[in-house]
Structure 1
Amino acid sequence: MRKKISAVIVGIGVTCVSLFSTASAGAHGYTDAPTSRQRFCANGTVQDCGEIQWEPQSVEGPKGFPSHGPADGTLCAGGNSRFAELDDPRGGQWPATDLTAGQPTTFRWRLTARHATTDFRYYLTNDHYDPTRPLTRADLEPEPFLTVPYGGRIPDATVTHQGTIPAGRTGKQLILSVWTIADTGNAFYACSDVRLS
């Protein structure tokens, strides 16, 4: 009888651990305005995306960008090799959202699991950016053009920010959005290809 009770307790423990693991690994967040690469993969606009098509919310990597964080060339995947398709520039052919530099723009995150937040930061590529090559820190302006501090608060499931992309920029560019988590060592990353006029 004791063996049966022990087996049941062990079974329940394993089930609980599995459920908790699945819940914590299953959801976080991504940008859908401007549309991110992971969103384009999830909605089927872009094919051959690998696992990211089922997990657009899971692009999580080390925080501390730009001094720390993912390695150059792996920024769009947050340094996560499971989602390396996001770092493939695809010959510069990722779909791009048309935006006007110097005009107010809406930036929106969809959070499938909400976390205590340090801030949201948005970086724009510089004049040296080549959309046919993987993104590196040298391709980005050194400072974000928009920072939204959160001071450890937990954001809503949909987060919208208003910001202005620097005037005078034109052509194919990329916005790297970084959601920094306050109570873990990680951040979430999203790359949105844009066409500026």
Structure 2
Amino acid sequence: MTARRKATGIALAGIGPLALTVLTASPAAAHGSMTDPVSRVSACYAEGPESPKSAACKAAVQAGGTQAFYDWNGVRDGEAGGRSKSRIPDGKLCSANNPEYKGLDLPRADWPSSRMRAGNHTFRYKATAPHKGYFALYLTKSSYNPAKPLKWSDLESKPFAKVTDPKLANGEYVFNGKVPARSGRHLIYSIWQRSDSAEAFYTCSDVVFGKDSGQAAAKPAPTASAPTDRQLAAGAGKSSMDMSGHDHGGSGSGTHTGAVTQAEADAPAPGGSSQSGGNAPQAQGGGKPAGGQQLAETGGDSSTAPLAIGGAAVLAAGAGVLLATTRRKAARHRG
């Protein structure tokens, strides 16, 4: 074998595994949370992680810090695989047994809540990336006591609503469900289980049917509000989640590119602090379909392709240098 052929073989052998590694690099997981009825993490984010208004959100920040609320879309278990009840212990349902979100597990009767009534309801779930899978919604039993840690046995054994691959419109999953009759303060627990991976996401939404019987204090609990797009953009720079490169489009839905306007970039983050420099909001969305399929739907990420192409280019360039060097050495040897 000539020196030239040997060098070529070495270069190609080196490129193959490395290029494959780049092409199969695992992207950051996608995320989301319930906005109607408003989840605990969404309500506290909307109030402002640095200076929440409600007593419950203040206590949650004191218990677990502010980062959990900037990471509002990351209450998840990457290995759930449909085994949520066996993997998440009683008392830690709202945090999904994730220490970062332990403030969400506080047993209180004054969490910000959404008004609810029995019958048909349109649910909305803010998603920073679409995924194939199903939503299962559970309502607490009539005996539920919000002042005690939430247990699996506090929830009805079967979901009152379950939907597979609902429509994604303007960055939100929208689907209908028939809510059972209740009175007073209760909780709706959602599980979003992906079908293209083991990952699942969880939310706790505090709801009130009629009069808020769960509120012991004289001052009523505040009404929960979902964060606005401006608030989400303003606080994105403080999130530890990868919020870039996820496509918001879906079959039969509008596409939200998520481009952050200058006004949004200059807007104060929740809590009053402005984002600038290294903490500037990151644009969301903008993912491109690959072969007609949304990358985010299969666990991919639109940043994967550029990364693979760039990495392969670097490897190819390195192989070229190695080949040229070997040629020069061979020429000098023949001379």
TM-score (norm 2): 0.48
Letter in 1 for 2:174: T
Residues 138, 156 of structure 2: 8 Å contact kept: yes
Q: Which residue of 1 aligns with 2:115?
A: 98
> AA paired with 2:114?
T
Contact 1:172 1:193 in 2 (8 A): yes
Asked if 1:54 corresponds to 2:70, the answer is yes
AA partner of residue 82 (structure 1): E
List runs of 5+ in structure 1 lacking aligned partners.
1-12
**Which of the two has higher C-alpha Rg?**
2
Deviation at 1:65, TM superposition (A): 4.9
Per the TM alignment, residue 63 of structure 1 is displaced from its structure 2 partner at its CA by 4.0
Pairing 1:113–2:116 present:
no
What are the within-5 Å matches in structure 2 for residues 34-53 of structure 1? 34-44=37-47, 46-47=57-58, 48-49=60-61, 50=65, 51-53=67-69
Matched residue type, 1:132: A
Secondary structure (helix, strand or coil) at the match of 1:32 reads: strand
State how far apart, in whole Å, the 1-side matches of 2:89 and 2:104 are.
14
Aligned partner of 2:106 in structure 1 is 88
More helix by share: 2
CA separation in 2, counterparts of 1:132 and 1:65? 27
Q: Distance in 1 between matches of 2:83 and 2:155?
A: 12
**Identity in percent:** 35
* 2:89 corresponding residue in structure 1: 71
125, 133, 158: which one aligns with 1:143: 158
Counterpart of 1:184 (choices 175, 197, 204) is: 197
Q: Tell me if the contact between 1:63 and 1:69 (Cα under 8 Å) persists in the aligned partners.
A: no
SS state at 2:204 partner: strand
Is the 8 Å Cα contact of residues 116 and 155 (structure 1) preserved in structure 2? no
Task: Looking at secondary structure, tell me which structure has more strand per residue.
Answer: 1
Deviations 1:143-177 (A, max 9, x none): 00000023xx995531011112112x101000001
Measure the CA separation in 1 of the matches of 2:41 and 2:81.
Answer: 19
- Tell me the CA shift for residue 190 of structure 1: 0.3
The amino acid that maps onto 2:115 is: D
For residue 186 of structure 1, report the CA deviation from its aligned partner.
2.0
Structure 1, residues 41-85: CA drift from partner, whole Å, max 9, x if none? Answer: 211253343222101100002242554331111111111111101
**Aligned pair 1:24/2:28, yes or no?**
yes
What is the aligned length?
172
Cα distance in 1 between the residues matched to 2:207 and 2:87: 23
In the aligned structure 2, how far is the partner of 1:142 from the partner of 1:108? 23
Question: 2: CA distance between counterparts of 1:134 and 1:63?
Answer: 24
User: Structure 1: which 4+ aligned runs deviate by more than 4 Å?
Assistant: 153-156
Counterpart residue identity of residue 86, structure 1: L
| Structure 2 gap segments, 5+ residues each | 1-17, 48-52, 211-335
Counterpart residue identity of residue 136, structure 2: R
2:245 alignment partner in structure 1: none
